[in-house]
């Protein structure tokens, strides 16, 4: 009977170990951490795309502002030339002996 008892104990141990191995090997990996990492990865990819798009948009805006500034300076310069021409004409009229 003692041999039979040891055999049952051995079978119970084997069954216990199989159950524990099954429990720990088939249990899902904690998904909270991996979902967070995956979510951060997706958010960083979206951030990279947004940064690239904003950089392109910023470059286009800078080019447009440079063109606008150029034309504004050109128009202002022409206005100064017209005013200077008017001043010279008035000085000429004043000094000419008519």
pLDDT at residue 5 in the model: 67
pLDDT of 49-62, one tens digit each? 999 999 999 999 99
Rounded Cα–Cα distance for residues 18 and 8 (Å) = 15
Q: Residue 30's Cα: distance from chain center in Å?
A: 29
**pLDDT-flagged residues of the chain (< 50):** none
pLDDT at residue 11 in the model: 83
């Amino acid at each position: 009977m003692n041999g039979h008892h040891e055999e049952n104990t051995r079978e119970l141990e084997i069954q216990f170990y199989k159950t524990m191995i099954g429990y720990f090997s088939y249990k899902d990996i904690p998904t909270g951490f991996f979902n967070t990492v995956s979510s951060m990865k997706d958010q960083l990819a979206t951030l990279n795309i947004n940064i690239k798009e904003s950089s392109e948009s910023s470059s286009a805006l800078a080019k447009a502002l440079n063109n606008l500034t150029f034309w504004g300076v050109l128009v202002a310069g022409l206005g100064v030339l017209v005013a200077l021409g008017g001043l010279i004409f008035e000085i000429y009229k004043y000094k000419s002996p008519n």
